[in-house]
Amino acid sequence: MMNSPIAFLDVLAACTELRPEIDAAIARVLQSGCYIGGEEVERFETDWAAFCEARQAVGVGNGLDALRLALMALEIGAGDEVIVPSNTFIATWLAVAQVGAVVVPVEPDASTCNLDATRIEAAITSHTRAIMPVHLYGQPADLDPILAIARRHGLRVIEDAAQAHGARYRGGRIGAHGDAVAWSFYPGKNLGAIGDGGAITTDDAQLADRLRKLRNYGSSTRYVHEMAGMNSRLDPIQAAVLSVKLAHLDEWNARRSMIAARYRDGLADSGLALPQVPPWAEPVWHLFVARHPERDALRERLADAGISTLIHYPTPPHRQGAFASMASLSLPISEQLHREVFSLPIGPHLKPDEADRVIEAIGLLLTR
Ligand SMILES: *Cc1c(COP(=O)(O)O)cnc(C)c1O
């Protein structure tokens, strides 16, 4: 085949498109002499909070720390249980385990791959302190029933929004529905830095204040340590780059939506199970995840045709060495999803004709 290969995601293209502005932003930080915190971080925090329709944003080192710090700030730790989706990137589970709390997995709704709210109450015990929904693949979880359950049982809600920058739930941005919302700016996310970065958004000013201390050795005044904090601060170079990219996030998400619409149209009768979008959800298509029982063979054939796909994720958290003590759990919905899901190339720099080539290749393979 003469066609050039189709990459899963081109993160270099995102920087190339904005290269002069990014260069200027980095030069500004170099020249400022301020290499921890400062104006660049504060400006990005203000802009990110506004974008997320939240009152507060606190920049931190990465998405895992954002989750851990949210738990710490809400004083969730040893002896506490936290409800998490059985299918998620392992960071959601690790954050809970690393503050000393116990993960209690709840199965997803197989059609959206997001936490099934109808299964949550059965998992609540006298030790449950929080529910941690994940807006997986860029699609908002059904927050209203989750928030209602949390209110009824006096639980906190911490959202893992690491894949959902710009997504909307019933018209409002993801950003402050729960007590705290954790973000990652890992380069491949919809809003990605040129290294690690993360943030927590919230409407609770007191919680934000605790988070600002916890990310900085438990301190707001130099050498005064009110609590046992971490060192997890958003780097000013990353903040400056993120500010440049934030101005383009809506447009880049719209490009992702256009690719997703093409896939959903072009693959409607292909035999693939396609992502379902509930009427109240405006996803941002961090990933376009389809399902097929012969996933592995299909991916191999697509690779032969020069089309890169990935699996999000190949192994459920309870079957990872990191959670060996939970290996005997039976979580059949998650396990089946992990056997069948695979992700098609998508991103703001994937060209429509490349998406058409993916559609065509899948059509040829599945009708054979
Ligand atoms: C990327 C991601 C994280 C972790 O983000 P890092 O910045 O890599 O630590 C957490 N949760 C989910 C669902 C993610 O996709």
Task: Specify the range with the lowest mean pLDDT, choosing from 56-65, 141-150, 219-228.
Answer: 219-228
Residue 6 lies in a domain: no
243 lines ligand 1 (CB under 6 A): no
Distance CA 285, CA 347 (A): 8
Give the 3-state secondary structure of residue 173: strand
Same structural domain, 217 and 280: no
198 lines ligand 1 (CB under 6 A): yes
Same structural domain, 123 and 264: no
365 CA → ligand 1 middle, Å: 33
Q: Which of 11, 86, 89 has most ligand 1 atoms within 8 Å of CB, for mutation?
A: 89
Q: Which atom of ligand 1 is nearest to the CA of 136?
A: 13
Residue 2 pLDDT exceeds 60: no
Distance CA 30, CA 339 (A): 47
Distance CA 136, CA 110 (A): 12
pLDDT tens profile 279-336 = 999 999 999 999 999 999 999 999 999 999 999 999 999 999 999 999 999 999 999 9
Which residue, 197, 227, 246, sits at the end of a domain? 246
Asked if 59 and 233 count as a contact pair (C-beta separation under 8 A), the reply is yes
Residue 361 lies in a domain: yes
Residue 4 lies in a domain: no
Asked if 51 and 246 count as a contact pair (C-beta separation under 8 A), the reply is yes
270 CA → ligand 1 middle, Å: 31
Same structural domain, 51 and 166: yes
Per-residue tokens: 185? 């700016």
Distance CA 275, CA 277 (A): 6
184 lines ligand 1 (CB under 6 A): yes
Residue 5 lies in a domain: no
137 lines ligand 1 (CB under 6 A): no
89 CA → ligand 1 middle, Å: 7
Percent of the chain with pLDDT over 90: 99
Q: What is the pTM of this model?
A: 0.98
Same structural domain, 258 and 191: no
Strands 128-131 and 156-160: parallel
Asked if 22 and 243 count as a contact pair (C-beta separation under 8 A), the reply is no
pLDDT tens profile 15-27 = 999 999 999 999 9
Per-residue tokens: 326? 């939970």
Same structural domain, 336 and 238: no
184 CA → ligand 1 middle, Å: 6
Which residue, 186, 220, 246, sits at the end of a domain? 246
How sure is the predictor about 55, in pLDDT bands with cuts at 50, 70 and 90?
A: very high
Residue 61 is classified by DSSP as: S
What length is written for the chain?
Answer: 368
- Tell me the average pLDDT across 269-280: 96
Residue having the nearest C-alpha atom to atom 6 of ligand 1: 63
Q: In the prediction, which pLDDT does 3 show? A: 78
CATH code at 352? Answer: 3.90.1150.10
Residue 197 lies in a domain: yes
pLDDT tens profile 226-267 = 999 999 999 999 999 999 999 999 999 999 999 999 999 999
66 CA → ligand 1 middle, Å: 9
Same structural domain, 63 and 202: yes
pLDDT tens profile 324-362 = 999 999 999 999 999 999 999 999 999 999 999 999 999
Rounded mean pLDDT of the chain?
97
Residue 189 pLDDT exceeds 90: yes
Same structural domain, 213 and 280: no
CATH code at 132? Answer: 3.40.640.10
Same structural domain, 101 and 129: yes
Domain extent for 314: 249-366
Distance CA 166, CA 175 (A): 9
Same structural domain, 225 and 260: no
Distance CA 287, CA 297 (A): 20
Number of folded domains in the chain? Answer: 2
Residue 368 pLDDT exceeds 70: no
Which residue, 246, 271, 286, sits at the end of a domain? 246
Q: Alpha-carbon dihedral of residues 341, 342, 348, 349, nearest 10 degrees?
A: -170
In sign, the C-alpha dihedral spanning 102, 311, 140, 201 is positive
25 CA → ligand 1 middle, Å: 25
Same structural domain, 180 and 268: no
Residue having the nearest C-alpha atom to atom 5 of ligand 1: 63
Q: Which of 9, 160, 190, 286 has most ligand 1 atoms within 8 Å of CB, for mutation?
A: 160
Distance CA 197, CA 52 (A): 17
Q: Which atom of ligand 1 is nearest to the CA of 163?
A: 15
232 lines ligand 1 (CB under 6 A): no
Distance of alpha carbon 340 from the chain centroid? 21
Q: Which atom of ligand 1 is nearest to the CA of 188?
A: 1
Same structural domain, 172 and 87: yes
Beta bridge partners of 168: 173, 282
